[in-house]
Structure 1
Amino acid sequence: MNHRLIGRAAAITAAGVLLVGCGSAEGSSSSSSSDKPELKITGAYMPVPVSSDMAAGFFTVTNSGGADTLTSVTSSLAEHVTMHSTEDGAMREQKSFAVPADGALRLERGGNHLMFDMLAHKPKEGEKVSLRLHFATSGTITVDMPVKPATYAPKTGH
């Protein structure tokens, strides 16, 4: 009979530890605010396209919260907007880009970038192109991307 009481006491103690552990994890205030992405889009621009068929786009996503993923980009300017990386001079289409927690995703010349294909029209310098950036957690963010001279080189290193 003592063995039964000891077994029950151990089971009750273990259940109590599990409940306390679950309660503190769910009730923790530090996890709820830092786990949510806090995205800011800066430095967006499109160089004036050389052809009337394709264009490129660049920007930075700064994240002061939890991780997110850029899953797609849409724009009324182009039938297709694709995401690309450049490695060893070779451009490769990507299905998504990670936006690290407390970090940044940079789309820049010679690196990650957007490609606009089958343009509705060839944008001119000074025009603004509207983009919809679709994120896995943060949803959709709309950005107005100014069209800059083909030789534009931002001071931020894009």
Structure 2
Amino acid sequence: MTRRTTALSAAVALAASLALTGCSSPSGGGKPDLQVSGAFMPQPVMDMAGGFLTIANDGDTADKLTSVTSPLSDDVTMHETKNQAMRQVTSFDIPANGRLSLSRGGNHLMFMELKQKPKQGEKVSIELHFEKSDPIKVDLPVEAANHNPQQH
């Protein structure tokens, strides 16, 4: 009877330790901690526009930007630029303790078939959607068509 009790106690201890291990996340239990900065949209000259911003992740868990919505367009897409070629992607990685930069000549947002053409000085509302984090609402200031903060 003692052997059975010892085996049962060991099984309960093992099950408890597995349950506790299952509660902790491999990344240390942290969450993404996202902040958006440097957002802008150059004033569109056609019925499409680009959007640029930086998302900093001060958390110890990576996240992904999975989509962007806006009242300005029903078709907002994400594009990466590699070797001077642009292609649409379904998400952008935001590394833990890192950043995602969407900038002119690089990765960016595209607003297709604009419902109106915003003018310099106005703001365009967008909502960023993520794999893990709650959505973030951002107002993109509309800048001059040739605005490029990297040149300043």
Aligned-partner residue type, residue 58 of structure 1: F
1:128 paired with 2:123, answer yes
Secondary structure in 2 aligned to 1:139?
A: coil
Instruction: Work out the percentage of aligned pairs sharing the same amino acid.
Output: 50
- Distance in 1 between residues matched to 2:99 and 2:7, nearest whole Å: 48
1:60 paired with 2:54, answer yes
TM-score by length of 1: 0.82
TM-score by length of 2: 0.84
Q: Which has the higher helix share?
A: 1
Distance 1:128 1:24, change over 3 A: same
Matches within 5 A, 1:4-153: 5=3, 9=6, 12-13=9-10, 15-20=12-17, 22-23=19-20, 26=23, 31-32=28-29, 34=30, 36-51=31-46, 53-65=47-59, 66-153=61-148
Secondary structure in 1 aligned to 2:16?
A: helix
2:104–2:148 Cα contact (<8 Å) kept:
no
* Superposition CA RMSD, Å: 2.7
- What's the CA shift for 1:50? 2.3
Aligned-partner residue type, residue 13 of structure 1: A
- What's the CA shift for 1:96? 1.0
- Distance in 1 between residues matched to 2:23 and 2:83, nearest whole Å: 45
Distance 1:60 1:10, change over 3 A: same
- Distance in 2 between residues matched to 1:14 and 1:45, nearest whole Å: 59
